[in-house]
Every structure is written in structure tokens, then in C-alpha cells.
A and B are shown apart, each in its own frame.
Chain A
Amino acid sequence: MTTLITIFLVLGLSVLFTAGLRTASGTDLADHITNPQQRPVLGGSDPKTHAWQRFHVRYYTMTLVLVAFEMEMMFMYPWAVVFVEEGPKALAEMGMFLTILSVGILYGWREGIFRWE
């Protein structure tokens, strides 16, 4: 019961706090933001196009390598514990897991991420 009261108390306090913040910043929220104020800050210049754009995340191959190697290690620690009990079954499972991950590594290899630049 005490736990329940504490939860509701914290919930109530956070609602009050949020409401207080919203009221305090009420003047800002109520203000109409005009079109000239919506411009991006370019030092007085005007953008020719909308700023919503797609660009290439060039670090994605590095992310792939991190996932391939790091995730492998994260799984290996708990696996090492159960390997003693499970034996060959656990070994087969790890083999399957490593096979799937190595496809990602092979793809990365093909993309040239292991080439030093």
C-alpha cells in the first residue's frame, strides 16, 4: 500500500511540476512565431531550399563492424557459462550465431571497410 501511495505521490508531483513549467513558459508558448522568425539562422541570408534533406551516413560500415564484433562478444560471455552444462548443443548454437554474423563481416569485407585509408 505504501509503495502504491509513493508511486501516486511521485506521479502527482511530476504532473504538478510539468504544469508549473508549462504555465511559467506560457507567455513564450502563446506567442505566435512569425514567418520571418521561422527562418534558419544564416546570418541574414535566405535559404533557397527547405532544410529537410537526405545525406549519406558514411559511418554506417563502421557501425556494421561494431555490431558484428561487439554483439558476438556480448553473447559469448553468458554462453561460456552455460556451455559447461549444455555441451555440444550450446556449441552448435554458437556456431549458427557466428555463421550469421560472419555474413555481415563478409559483406563489410566486400564493401572494403577493412582497407586502411
Chain B
Amino acid sequence: MAKLASQAPVPVFVAQGDDAPAETARLCLNSTLTIVETPRAAAILLVAGTIPASLIPNLHRLHDQLPHPRATVFWQAEPTDLLSEAVTVRNDDNLVSVLTDTRSSLLSGSHGTEADLLPDAPPNEWRGVGSHGQGGKGMMGGTPYGRPMAMTAADFRDGLELDAYTADFGPFLPMFPPGLVLTLTLQGDVIQKVSVVHLPFAGEGNAGAALLRLLGLPALAKRLLRGPSDDADFKRLIRLSGVRAAIPPGLGCAPIGSDVRERFERLTTDPGNPSKVHVDGVGLGDLLIGLEWHEAMLVLNSFDDESLRAICANTSSPELEEKNGDSMDHEGHAGHMS
């Protein structure tokens, strides 16, 4: 059974770091690998490129979400202290054969599964303010599963006070540009507040392919990654798919000057030369607040890396300013228990 299973494509979740090899985006073209969208579906966590010290706790959280048996492979990166036993791949190694071999040895049992890095305990004690653990603020009081209940806040659309969900998203979320961490406050799936925790990594960018994947056209995304975009067939397929109509008109336009449709067309027809946008003084709040989740993801992925970094830098972000103000010797593992 293990032998049969090892012949199937290897499910890999890619955690992209800074200076990730250019080949990372094109891994999905390899038929022996399946690049999965969630760590729950992966057997191998592939860490491509250097993970900054401030994001190492995020990597460890991600690692623990992979089901057993699991393994971590560092590709052109140094393993973290807690993952020092992980497989390391250098420039000259054949990454794909290392991944398939690791998967086979995981299944045969010769490579033991990696244990959790974080303690098996809820982030807070599951107790309310009352003497018997009952009561407290929020919808029901207490901290079920160690997390406080969401508090009410006014919806900016009509002032209706319902529970506002606040969470950090990223840096290894497949629909986010790699490295980007945002604190988002949502009412339902409408974005109410946004602040930047970590800027996206600078890279060569594959926004066109990312947009096509988001729009449900993975085959065309692969075709774009594969090669010459001046292919007339490719342009015809894009036109026939009707994907242009699936992007709401005017989305992500003000005050940039071009909307997502326009940027999408440029990215798919001429990816090497993305349209320049006017980002002076434009923050993510101007672009994302009031959008539903899927629209916000389209907007985020429609920029080239340089413009997106500029927009994120313009966004008011208390956490980022605090970090920049701090000395550089911050502790890498802070927030593990949070």
C-alpha cells in the first residue's frame, strides 16, 4: 500500500521566504508534485528562501498544521533551530527527487514524522471571570478553546453593531503575495479595517498567474508560467474564458488610475512590463475597506511587487511602526503561545 501511495504526486505546501528561488512559482508545472492550497492537505512543507526572524513563529505554527506523517524540506535556506533535523536542499541538488524520496521514506516509515513544535495547550485558560469560570465580556463570556469571543463593533455600512472578527492573515496564505501579513477586521466577509504587520517580499512576481488561479483558471495560470505570453492561442483562450467579465468593473481603481481589469489584461498579455500605477499616498485602506474578501484578493494580487510594497508602506500600521522603532535584537520566538 505504501509503495502504491508513494507513486502518487507528492502533496507539497510551499512557504515562500525572502529571496526564494525563481523556480518556486514554476514547481506547480511538475507532474510529480501537487502544490496544495492548505497545510492540511500536504505531506511535505517546502520552505523556499530565507524566512526572516520575525516570521519564524509563523512558520512553526504552519508546520504544526500539517497532518502526520509529515516532513519539512528547506530549499536554499537554513533550517530553524526547532527544525534542525529537517532535510536541506542546496542549489545543486535535485529538489524534485529529494521531495519524492522524502515522501517515500515517510510512507515506508524509514523517515519518522516530525513532532509538534508548539506546546499542546490552549493559548489561554478556558475560564470566564466568574468564580466557576462562567461569564465575562463578549457574546458568551469566557475564552472557549483559549480565545476570547469577538466583541461587537459598528459596521461602517450602516452602524449595525455585530461581532467584528479581527485576525492576522499571512505570510504563507496561498491567496496572499508571499511575506505579506495583514491585520484585518471583518464583518461577515466585508473588510472594515486593515493594517500591515509585515511587507511582502520583493521578488520577480507572478501576479498574472496568481490572478488566473484566483479566478479559477489554474490551467491558464500554468500556461502563463510556462512561457511566451505573446502566444495568440493563449490570448484567445483568455478571451473565450470570459474571465474579464468576472472581474467587477472599476474594482481597485480609485485613486490609482487603473482598475483590476486593466491591470489583469496587462499582466496576462505583457507580464514583464506591468502597468505603472500612481501609488503616492495610496494606502491599502483606500483600496480594500468595504470590499468583500474575493474582491480584496483580486486587488491585492493585481499589483507588481514594487507597487504593492509601496502601497503597504503607505498604509498606517501601528505594529510595523513599533517594530521599526524597536532595536533589531527582538526575540524570534515571541508570540508562540499567543
Chain A interface (Cβ within 8 Å of chain B)? 31, 34-56, 58
The DSSP consensus for interface residues of chain A is: loop
A66 CB to nearest B CB, Å:
20
List residues of chain B with CB within 8 A of the CB of A36.
Answer: 61, 64-65, 116-118, 120
| A to B CB contacts below 8 Å, 10 in the list | A34-B64, A35-B123, A43-B62, A43-B169, A43-B170, A43-B171, A44-B62, A49-B138, A50-B145, A55-B162
- Cα distance A73–B169 in the bound complex, in angstroms: 47
- Cα distance A53–B149 in the bound complex, in angstroms: 8
The answer to whether A50 and B149 touch (CB under 8 A), given A31-B68, A44-B15, is yes
B12-65 CB contacts (< 8 Å) to partner A: 15, 38-40, 55, 57-59, 61-62, 64-65
- B173 CB–A CB distance under 8 Å: yes
B45 CB to nearest A CB, Å:
11
Are A54 and B166 in contact (CB-based, < 8 A)?
no
Are A53 and B163 in contact (CB-based, < 8 A)?
yes
B48 CB to nearest A CB, Å:
14
B240-274 CB contacts (< 8 Å) to partner A: none
- B338 CB–A CB distance under 8 Å: yes
- Cα distance A36–B138 in the bound complex, in angstroms: 24
Since A35-B146, A36-B117 are in contact, a sample of 20 more A-B pairs with Cβ atoms closer than 8 Å, ordered by chain A residue number, is A34-B116, A34-B120, A35-B120, A36-B65, A43-B174, A44-B15, A44-B170, A45-B61, A45-B170, A50-B144, A53-B139, A53-B149, A53-B150, A53-B162, A53-B163, A53-B164, A55-B187, A55-B188, A56-B160, A56-B162
Q: Which 8 A-B pairs have the closest CB atoms?
A: A43-B173, A44-B58, A36-B64, A45-B168, A53-B163, A55-B188, A44-B62, A47-B167
When C-beta atoms are compared, the residue in chain B nearest to A31 turns out to be B68
List residues of chain A with CB within 8 A of the CB of B146.
Answer: 35
B72 CB to nearest A CB, Å:
13
The answer to whether A37 and B65 touch (CB under 8 A), given A45-B169, A49-B150, is yes
B149 contact from A39, A42, A43, A49, Cβ within 8 A: A49
Are B148 and A49 in contact (CB-based, < 8 A)?
yes
Interface 0/1 of B152-195, CB less than 8 Å to A: 00010000101111111111111010000100000110000000
A42 contact from B120, B168, B187, Cβ within 8 A: B168
Are A46 and B188 in contact (CB-based, < 8 A)?
no
A50 contact from B116, B148, B173, B181, Cβ within 8 A: B148
Are A44 and B55 in contact (CB-based, < 8 A)?
yes
List residues of chain A with CB within 8 A of the CB of B117.
Answer: 36
- Cα distance A59–B143 in the bound complex, in angstroms: 31
A59 CB to nearest B CB, Å:
11
When C-beta atoms are compared, the residue in chain B nearest to A57 turns out to be B188
List residues of chain B with CB within 8 A of the CB of A40.
Answer: 167
List residues of chain B with CB within 8 A of the CB of A46.
Answer: 61, 123, 167-168, 335, 338
When C-beta atoms are compared, the residue in chain B nearest to A27 turns out to be B68
List residues of chain B with CB within 8 A of the CB of A44.
Answer: 15, 55, 57-59, 61-62, 170-173
When C-beta atoms are compared, the residue in chain B nearest to A52 turns out to be B149
List residues of chain B with CB within 8 A of the CB of A51.
Answer: 165
The answer to whether A35 and B121 touch (CB under 8 A), given A46-B61, A52-B139, is yes
Are B145 and A38 in contact (CB-based, < 8 A)?
yes
- Cα distance A43–B62 in the bound complex, in angstroms: 7
The answer to whether A50 and B58 touch (CB under 8 A), given A41-B39, A43-B172, A44-B172, is no
- B333 CB–A CB distance under 8 Å: no
- B276 CB–A CB distance under 8 Å: no
A60 CB to nearest B CB, Å:
12
Are A47 and B147 in contact (CB-based, < 8 A)?
yes
A64 CB to nearest B CB, Å:
17
- Cα distance A53–B147 in the bound complex, in angstroms: 12
Are A39 and B187 in contact (CB-based, < 8 A)?
no
- Which of B39, B150, B187 has its CB near the most chain A CB atoms (within 10 A)? B150
Are A42 and B162 in contact (CB-based, < 8 A)?
no
List residues of chain A with CB within 8 A of the CB of B58.
Answer: 43-45
- B228 CB–A CB distance under 8 Å: no
